[in-house]
């Protein structure tokens, strides 16, 4: 039974290694399809932090756009305004949802239009050194626009 116990030990080690390495899981990642003549888009997802430490999403990158930034939305004079943020904090054993009207990964200066049904690959960088490659489908998302009327 020597062989069997060795195999069991090996698989247990492998299993525990996978668990410890899996600090983050990403759920429901998707990227907004672009209407014609739109140079920008955004990615949304749920980021789960399974570790006992608070971590920060500090950057994102992708080949699809000239620049990739972390953004949030804030209400200002009755209008939703986007602004760049340095980091998105995900508390220990908690999660953060990147969604329209809130945090998002912003793609600026797209090299080509994003068509629904295709996929986009981008990378997330965390302050603990972890990097995650996300392969997200492109979906049509209707934007809720709050326009300010002056007349």
Sole residue written with tokens 């804030």: 74
**Positions in 59-118 near Cu ion (CB under 5 A):** 71, 82, 106
Please state the closest distance from residue 50 (CB atom) to Cu ion, in A. Answer: 27
Output the six-digit token pair for 72.
Answer: 């949030």
Residues that contact Cu ion, how many (by CB under 5 A)? 3
Please state the closest distance from residue 94 (CB atom) to Cu ion, in A. Answer: 23
Which is closer to Cu ion, CB of 48 or CB of 72? 72
Cβ proximity of 44 and 100 under 8 Å? yes
Residue nearest to Cu ion (CB): 71
* Positive or negative torsion for Cα 71, 81, 78, 142: negative
Which is closer to Cu ion, CB of 82 or CB of 96? 82
Cβ proximity of 72 and 81 under 8 Å? no
Helix, strand, or coil here: 12? helix
Please state the closest distance from residue 107 (CB atom) to Cu ion, in A. Answer: 9
Please state the closest distance from residue 82 (CB atom) to Cu ion, in A. Answer: 4
Which is closer to Cu ion, CB of 55 or CB of 106? 106
Output the six-digit token pair for 118.
Answer: 């295709």
Which is closer to Cu ion, CB of 23 or CB of 70? 70
**Positions in 21-50 near Cu ion (CB under 5 A):** none
Q: What is the CA radius of gyration of the chain?
A: 19
- How far apart are alpha carbons 60 and 71 in whole angstroms? 11
List interacting residues with Cu ion (CB under 5 A). Answer: 71, 82, 106
């Amino acid at each position: 039974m020597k062989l069997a116990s060795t195999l069991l030990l090996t698989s247990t080690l492998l299993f525990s290694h996978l668990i410890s390495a899996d600090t983050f899981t990403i759920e429901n990642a998707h990227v907004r399809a672009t209407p014609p003549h739109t140079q920008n888009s955004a990615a949304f997802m749920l980021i789960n932090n399974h570790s006992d430490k608070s971590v920060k999403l500090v950057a994102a990158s992708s080949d699809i756009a000239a620049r990739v930034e972390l953004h949030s939305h804030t209400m200002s004079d009755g209008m939703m305004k986007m602004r760049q943020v340095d980091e998105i904090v995900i508390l220990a054993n908690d999660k953060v949802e990147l969604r329209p009207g809130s945090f998002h990964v912003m793609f600026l200066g797209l090299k080509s239009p994003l068509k629904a049904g295709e996929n986009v690959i981008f990378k997330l960088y965390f302050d603990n050194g972890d990097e995650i490659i996300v392969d997200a489908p492109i979906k049509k998302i209707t934007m809720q626009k709050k326009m300010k009327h002056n007349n």
